[in-house]
Amino acid sequence: MAPTTGETTITTTRGIEVVVRQWTPADPTAAEGDILWFHSMAGLAHTEDVLDTLGGQFRVHAPLWPGYSDLENEGAVEDMLDFALLGWDIADTLGLDHPHLVGHSMGAMVAAEMACLARRDLSRLVLVAPYGLWLDDHPIPDIFAVLPFELAELLLADPANAAKLLTPGQDMGTDEGLAQFMVQNARRLGTAGKVLFPIPNRRLSKRLYRLSAPTRVILGGADALITAPYGDAWQAAVAQAELVTIPGAGHLANLDQPAALAEAVAEFLAG
What are the boundaries of each domain within the chain? 4-270
- pLDDT at res. 148: 74
- pLDDT score recorded for residue 111: 98
Decide: helix, strand or coil at residue 58.
coil
- Taking residues 167-172, report their average pLDDT: 54
| Whole-number percent of the chain with pLDDT over 90 | 73
Using the predicted structure, report yes or no on whether residue 34 has a pLDDT greater than 90: yes
Q: Which of residues 160 and 198 earns the better pLDDT score? A: 198
Distances (CA, A) of 54 to 199, 223, 224, 266: 32, 23, 26, 7
Give domain 4-270's CATH superfamily. Alpha/Beta hydrolase fold, catalytic domain (3.40.50.1820)
The length of the chain in residues reads 271
Alpha carbons 228 and 245: distance in angstroms, whole number = 9
pLDDT digits (tens, 9 = 90+) for 2-28: 899 999 999 999 999 999 999 999 998
What is the C-alpha end-to-end distance of the chain, expressed in Å? 22
> How many Å apart are CA 269 and CA 271, to the nearest integer?
5
Contact 34, 102 (CB under 8 A): no
User: What's the whole-number mean pLDDT along residues 174-185?
Assistant: 60
| pLDDT of the residue at 18 | 97
Instruction: Give Cα separations from 80 to 21, 138, 166, 195, 202 (angstroms).
Output: 23, 23, 27, 6, 7
User: What residue type is assigned to position 198 of the chain?
Assistant: P
**HEC-encoded secondary structure of 98-153:** CCEEEEECHHHHHHHHHHHHCCCCCCCEEEECCCCCCCCCCCCCCHHHCCHHHHHH
Question: Has residue 171 got a pLDDT over 70?
Answer: no
